[in-house]
Structure 1
Amino acid sequence: MGSQKEAFVALVTCFNDDETINYEATRAQVRRQVAAGNNIMCAGTNGDFSALTFDEKVRLTEEVVAEVDGRAKVIVNAGMPATFETVALARAFDRIGVDGIAVITPFFIACTQDGLIRHFTTVADSVETPVYLYDIPVRTQNHIEPETARALAKHRNIAGIKDSGGAQETLEQYMAVGREEEGFDVYSGPDHLVHWAFQNGAKGAISGLGNVMPEVLARIVSCFNAGDEVGAARAQETYGAFRTDLYKLGYPPALVKRALWVMEPSVGASRQPALLPDPEQDKQIEAILKKYELI
């Protein structure tokens, strides 16, 4: 039975009514995930990273690391459009001490594959913490081609990739790189492919939906690691069905945050101009949460 699989939750960032970060509520979400058995990724897409300032990301990471207190792994996203700022953030996270630094592809700036290689290599050269490539082309308009991932996998401090592209084919190509390049782990982003990715050689999953269903995500992992394929498949079925029901309503990260808000209002709304709370939609979300016995 290969190495143990692991799950990270792409943790939400909690906000007060005046849009400042609510660190106490964020810490409460960290505790909830650690109790369920999940690891933490902070300042990712589900953490509204693009709405946070440099200093806020640094403090957020300090608070999350302090709250986790060694009981789980912490990965933090440092990726910004410019290599210069990404390096500055990565160095700050390196000083705090995290288990991994994820680097989302630059956004807004259109990159060549050569530009991506320069970007990731420069960041990986500037820190001691292992760096994870993070591909989400639908949001950034920049995609790490499998051959580019293969070239970067040879870097001593690039430890893997998070694939949030949503295409099974790309995930398969990245996993082929992972099989051939030692020390290059693949983490699956799509919530409906967690179990499939484990079966096909992924090291783990990094999931936004785990904010709402921490126990079910943890169960896919614990069942799989125990060799209980039936249990893992059953947990995945619940996870996938919930995902389908929830994401029918709109933009996934906004809905994850909103569903969590319906369960626990202390998480707050996202910073503007994100979607405003919609009482009609909240009623639909509430019905879905009841169907899955989450409230």
Structure 2
Amino acid sequence: MTPTAFVALVTCFDGDERLDLTATRAQVRRQVAAGNALMVAGTNGDFTALTHDEKIALVEAVVDESAGKVPVFANAGMPATFETVQLAQAFERAGVDGIAVITPFFIACTQDGLERHFTRVADAVQTPVYLYDIPARTQNHIEPATARRLAAHGNIAGIKDSGGAQQTLEDYMAIGRDMPGFKVYSGPDHLILWALGQGAAGCISGLGNVMPDTLAQIIAAHRAGDSAGAEAAQARFTAFRTELYALGYPPALVKRALWCMDSSVGTSRGPALLPVADQDQAIREILRRYDLS
């Protein structure tokens, strides 16, 4: 299996916080040039700040701009199964390669409830569905035993693990070893190389918005068997992550760091991160240290 790096693409807005598809298309081209696949409307894509119709327009634009050059996944997950199904079907019509479904948020779910939620979505489309676990943000966690049962569904193709717990990632990958059609993608940027070494199908990275070439280098060096090169790229990626995320909420900081490099991406929709002069200065200093300014 050849591992793939997906970037959890930022969503661009104009000065009035309106969806800016022209700027978003430019970010698609930037990632395609680096060789990275795309994950749209995820945590780093401000999906909770987007309307239903905006998500569909966004996904359609990204699929169109990528033009089949790289795979495109899109996150359809919402608190209600009903709307999640609607979005999944719209994304399927748009031509995505995979539909990610983040665990419901705000609503406290049982494992049985999660299983029924994901099953209903997977039953409603033919495009492969990928579970998306990020308990720190949604307060709901897909237990490995639940993931194993869902992996038996003919249209549930894998999971994105953004929990950050190495043991859980190992448990998910054990499912993949027992059920080869079930792919595991690592979400935490500091665990990419480790996960690849354990047999992960790849990663879905938010930080790749800022460092697309370094992310691509981790994957390329690993594929080539260049362990020293892969370790060096991972070390750079991890060090940047540690410095940037020390400043606050990671998805908003990724967007703000990218804004400091290219203001055309726009700011995050409030209240995720208000521009603060001291914080912007700290971000710019980090960018300079990594030759990203």
Report the TM range for the smaller structure's normalisation.
over 0.9
Q: What is the DSSP-based 3-state SS (H/G/I as helix, E as strand, rest coil) of the residue aligned with 2:127? A: coil
**Separation (CA, whole Å) in 2 of partners of 1:258 and 1:272:** 12
| Letter aligned with residue 87 of structure 1 | V
Quote how far apart the aligned CAs of 1:123 are: 0.2
Partner amino acid, structure 1, of 2:272:
A
Identify the residue that residue 117 of structure 1 maps to in structure 2.
Answer: 115
Match in the other structure for 1:84 = 82
Match of 1:37 among 28, 35, 38: 35
State the distance in 1 between where 2:209 and 2:285 align: 18
User: Aligned partners of 1:104 and 1:52: how far apart in 2?
Assistant: 15
Q: Report the secondary structure of 1:156's partner residue.
A: coil
Residue type of the alignment partner of 2:204: I
Alignment match of 1:204 (pick from 186, 202, 205): 202
Counterparts of 2:119 and 2:33, CA distance in 1: 36
Unaligned stretches of 5+ residues in structure 2:
none
What residue is the counterpart of 2:272 in the other structure? 274
Shift of 1:272: 1.4
Q: State the alpha-carbon separation in 1 of the partners of residues 247 and 86 from structure 2.
A: 37
CA distance in 2, matches of 1:7, 1:247: 21
- Which runs of 5 or more structure 1 residues have no equivalent in the other structure? none
Task: After TM superposition, list the pairs within 5 Å mapping 1:44-55 onto structure 2.
Answer: 44-55=42-53
Q: Distance in 1 between matches of 2:92 and 2:64?
A: 15
Q: Who is 2:66 aligned against?
A: 68
Letter in 1 for 2:184: V
SS in 1 for 2:77: coil
Q: Deviations over 1:111-140 (max 9, x none)?
A: 100000000000000001000000000100
Instruction: Give the equivalent residue in structure 2 for 1:258.
Output: 256
Between the aligned partners of 1:113 and 1:37, the Cα distance in structure 2 is 37
CA-to-aligned-CA distance 1:26-83 (integer Å, 9 cap, x gap) = 0000000000010000000000000101100000000000100010000000000000
Query: Hey, what does 1:108 align to over in structure 2?
Result: 106
Which residue is equivalent to 1:133?
131
Normalising by structure 1, what TM-score?
A: 0.99
1:174 to 172, 175, 178: 172
CA distance in 1, matches of 2:233, 2:268: 29
Write the distance in 2 (CA, Å) between the matches of 1:271 and 1:192.
27
Q: Distance in 2 between matches of 1:195 and 1:281?
A: 30
- What is the letter of the counterpart of residue 282 of structure 1? D
User: 1:23 offset after TM fit, Å?
Assistant: 0.5
Amino acid at match of 1:265: S
Instruction: List aligned pairs for 1:181-200, cutoff 5 A.
Output: 181-200=179-198
- CA distance in 2 between counterparts of 1:256 and 1:75 reads 20
Find the aligned partners of 2:54 and 2:129 in 1 and give their Cα distance: 21
Equivalent residue for 2:158?
Answer: 160
Aligned-pair distance for 1:273? 1.7
Per-residue deviation at 1:182?
Answer: 2.6
Identical amino acids, percent of aligned pairs: 70
State how far apart, in whole Å, the 2-side matches of 1:225 and 1:272 are.
Answer: 40
Number of residue pairs matched by the alignment: 293
Q: Runs in 1 of length 4+ with deviation above 4 angstroms?
A: none
1:42 and 1:219 mapped to 2: Cα distance?
Answer: 22
Q: Which residue, 215, 228, 231 being the options, matches 2:229?
A: 231
